[in-house]
Each structure stands twice: as C-alpha cells, then as structure tokens.
Amino acid sequence: MLQTGFSDAVLPADGVLAILVPEDGPRPATYLAADRATGGALERAVGAASFTFGAGRTCMLLAPGGGFDRILLVGLGKLAEIGARTVENAAGAAVTALGKLAAAARIAADGVLPALVAHVAQGATLAAFRFDSYHTRLPEDARWRLAEITILTPAAAQAEAAWADLSAVARGVYLARDLVSEPANVLRPPEFATRIEALRELGVAVEILDRDAMAELGFGALLGVAQASDAPPRTVLMRWNGAGDDSAPLAFIGKGVTFDSGGISIKPAAGMEEMKTDMAGAAAVVGLMAALAGRKARVNVVGAVGLVENMLAGNAQRPGDVVRTYSGQTVEVINTDAEGRLVLADVLWYVQERFKPRLMVDLATLTGAIVVGLGHEYAGLFSNDDALAGRLAAAGEETGELLWRMPLSDAYRDALRSDIADFKNVGGRPGGSITAAKFLEHFVNQVPWAHLDIAGTAWARKTVHCTPKGATGFGVRLLERFVRENHEG
C-alpha cells in the first residue's frame, strides 16, 4: 500500500509537488509560495491553459524552476461544494497523473479544510492500487513508480489521527480488490477460505464449514451448484464482537462463486474470463470485516460468504432438478447459470436463524439485467425496509459507491411459481434483477434486509477518480460508512 505521511505546510525545496487548489476564494499559501519560487510560472501556466481549477482537473508544469522537477495543479472545485468525495477524487487525480513519473511526491493540502485532509491520503491510496502479481516484465512507461507521498498541511497531527481509521478502510478495499483480481485457477474455494483465516490476526473469529458440514446441515441449494467442481465448496463465517456485549449483530453476506461457467446452461465463450469476478460480493464482505476490525469498530458484526465453483461435469446440476434448501423450501432449477441466488439462499437463512441479526445486507454480482438497467455507475438496491434502504443510499452518496433503489413488489412473485416445487430459480427475462431479488426475499424470514446487486460496479473498465481500471472493491467503503454512521455508539 502507498506509504503516506503528513508534514507542516512548508514549501519544499525541490522534487515533485502537487497542489490542491479551490476554484474560488484566495489561493492557498503553498500555491502562492510556489508561484514566487518559480518566478510566476504557476500563474502564467494557469493563464495560458485557461485553467479554472474545476473539480478533478489537472495542469502539469514540467521543470517550472525553483528546483522542482514537476508541479501539478489539481482543482478542487467551488469552496461551497468541497467535501470528502471531492477531496478524495482530487487526490486520486494527482496520484494517477504522477504514478508513473516519480517514486515520491508531496501533495500540498493547505487549501483543504483540516477535517478533510485525511481524505487526501484516502483518495491517493485508493488510486495507487495496482495488481501486478503475475507480471514478470513491464515496459518502462507502464511501470508504476509512486511509492510514497507526504501531505503538506497545517493540521498534520489531526490528519494523522484521522488517517489511522481511514487507512484501515483502505486496507480493506485493497484486500477486496486483490481477491477479485486473482485468477480463478488460483483463488478456488479452499484457497479463498484459507486467505480469510488471516483475519484472525485482526481479532476476527473465523469458522469454516466444509462440504460434509454443509451436507449435514442441509445446504442443498449451495451444494447443488458446487457438485460438478473438483474444488470443494466452503461457507466461511466471520465474527467481530467490537461492542463488548451480547447485542444482536449486523450481518453481511456475500456471494462467492470463484468461477462461473454457467454450468449446463453454459455461458458464451466471449467474456467468460470475467467470471473470475463472480465472487466480488464475498470479497467485499471480507474487506469490510478487515476494515471494521482494523479500526476496532464498536459494533458486533457477522460476515458470511458461500464459496463455490459453478462448473460442468457428468454429475453437474441439470435444468429441471429440484433442490431442498436449508430453510426446507424447495426450488426447481430452471437455469443453472442463475446459481448465485441458490448459494445465497442457504447462507441467508442460516445466518438469520443462527445469529438473530438486527439486519442483513447481501452483496452479489447477481444479474446481467442490473447492468442493462443501471450500467456501471450505480448498483441495484432492493430492500424490505425503507429506513435501511435510505441509510444505505445515503452512505453510497457520501462514499461515491452509488445505489439506486429498485422495486420489490409482490407483483413479481408469480413469475417464480413452479409446477413441481415451491418456486423456480428464475422468472424469465422481464425484470430479471427484480425477480432475482424477489427469490432471495424468500430466505430472509422477515429480518430487515437489503440486497445489493453489484454486477455492474465490481469491475471498472477504465480508471475513474480513486478507482483504477480493474477490481473496484465496491461495497467496502459504502458499508463501513453505513456501520460507522448508524450503528456505533
């Protein structure tokens, strides 16, 4: 992770410097000092480029004088609109611009309110994520060089204290991104479970259910999905008891299909390699648990992930099969590529029955239909509780991990009726993401619950703000903020 420090807002004598500057109001002292040191180069560049310091915009000065190799000007936008997201995005823009150019840089943040300076570190750190584990060589111009930043601020001590918590969140995001980035031949269910065990070092209790344990419990839906793979399935339960009492926990559940071929209802070959990301919901839950434990959150939390591969073989689950879920309800499997909801069905019911949570939130790359409806900008939010939905949506706005609430009306229930079982696992193409959520609702047993369909937001096709191209870690920051603002005393 990017090495980050804080120091007084004193103009350095040389090196690479980024300056965060609001669009209106007086120029920050560091900007004015740098302009004097360079003989007015900053103001000349701003004038020549008609640079306005709009939010996230950048202007690079090469060898501007004053001993500097580069000075990067980064806009914060209008003062009245500057918040944590603005600051993080600006810092992310700075790191993205400098990442391949220098090993170390300073970011002048004296134009940022003291309470927001730690978010400079957050945005810079998130933007610096790279997954290079399998590169043996890279062209010189493709190598990421930036390893260290120092943030210049009059509030260095305050920022350092705030960064202690935010850095735990960043580490959780990094963990989730690392897991989603791994190839499916490496991160199979047993390996995924082994990596989760590392959370014990943070004080998280980890319990692993193997195939035999799940068979004894009656996880018929999850085991049906896993039966054609030679990699045995796992359900992993994580518990963080930060409240110091026996109060009912919050529960977060993740879909962990480490590779999804579609099974007998096989997917098209084009793009199938992306199905290594079908465990992004589980990765987000693991990252969240790491973040909460890392900052010693004062709340009781349960995380649960169902880990399977959906493969083809002579013993694969067939369209038309009927499975008995842990809840006792039966499901006719119409499409074996609608497997994530079968995994979640058993885990959701088990969590609500065993842990009696105050609420449950599940995350899953569940449907292509949500991508058709919302694209890659918003995740779908479905909930049986208006207050819960509102708090989640608010946390999404604050973190930039945006949610759009979708309907969950009983009008969609009939689409899941089966002639030979309690219901089918698909309801046809119309409203596909809604009927998928409606299916899950059968397994929450009236507990306040929300389902986040993150199929469109788990993987970024291009770098945007603090999210480099690739795995996003979507859900970690959103849910950490939700917990912090609503459930910690």
Q: What is the DSSP string of 339-366?
A: -HHHHHHHHHHHHHHHH--SEEEEEE--
Domain extent, residue 144, equals 3-153
What angle, rounded to 10 degrees, do the helices at 156-181 and 476-486 form?
Answer: 130
**What does residue 102 show for φ and ψ, rounded to 5 degrees?**
-150, 150
The answer on 176 and 225 residing in a single domain is yes
pLDDT band for 138, please (50, 70, 90 cuts): confident
Considering the domain boundaries, does residue 160 fall inside one?
no
Indicate the residue among 83, 118, 153 that finishes a domain: 153
Predicted local confidence at residue 265, as pLDDT: 97
The answer on 188 and 290 residing in a single domain is yes
The answer on 176 and 140 residing in a single domain is no
Considering the domain boundaries, does residue 162 fall inside one?
no
Considering the domain boundaries, does residue 159 fall inside one?
no
The answer on 335 and 419 residing in a single domain is yes
Indicate the residue among 124, 153, 182 that finishes a domain: 153
What is the number of structural domains in the chain? 2
The answer on 315 and 240 residing in a single domain is yes
pLDDT at position 489 over 70: no
CATH code at position 80: 3.40.220.10
Considering the domain boundaries, does residue 333 fall inside one?
yes
Tens digits of residue pLDDT in 24-55: 999 999 999 999 999 999 999 999 999 999 99
Annotated active-site residue in 27, 171, 295, 341: 341
pLDDT band for 272, please (50, 70, 90 cuts): very high
Is residue 267 annotated as a catalytic residue, yes or no?
yes
The answer on 422 and 448 residing in a single domain is yes
The answer on 378 and 268 residing in a single domain is yes
Annotated active-site residue in 44, 78, 130, 267: 267
The answer on 175 and 91 residing in a single domain is no
**What does residue 485 show for φ and ψ, rounded to 5 degrees?**
-85, -15
Q: Is 339 annotated as a binding residue?
A: yes
Considering the domain boundaries, does residue 470 fall inside one?
yes
Is residue 324 annotated as a catalytic residue, yes or no?
no
The answer on 187 and 111 residing in a single domain is no
When pLDDT is averaged across residues 157-165 and rounded to a whole number, the result is: 97
CATH code at position 322: 3.40.630.10
Considering the domain boundaries, does residue 165 fall inside one?
no
Tens digits of residue pLDDT in 351-397: 999 999 999 999 999 999 999 999 999 999 999 999 999 999 999 99
Q: Is 260 annotated as a binding residue?
A: yes
pTM score, two decimals? Answer: 0.97
d(C-alpha 154, C-alpha 6), whole Å: 9
The answer on 261 and 373 residing in a single domain is yes
Indicate the residue among 153, 179, 213 that finishes a domain: 153
Predicted local confidence at residue 185, as pLDDT: 98
Q: Is 276 annotated as a binding residue?
A: no
When pLDDT is averaged across residues 243-265 and rounded to a whole number, the result is: 97
Neighbours of 189 (CB within 10 A): 28
The answer on 110 and 192 residing in a single domain is no
pLDDT, mean over the chain: 97
Tens digits of residue pLDDT in 420-442: 999 999 999 999 999 999 999 99
Tens digits of residue pLDDT in 72-112: 999 999 999 999 999 999 999 999 999 999 999 999 999 99
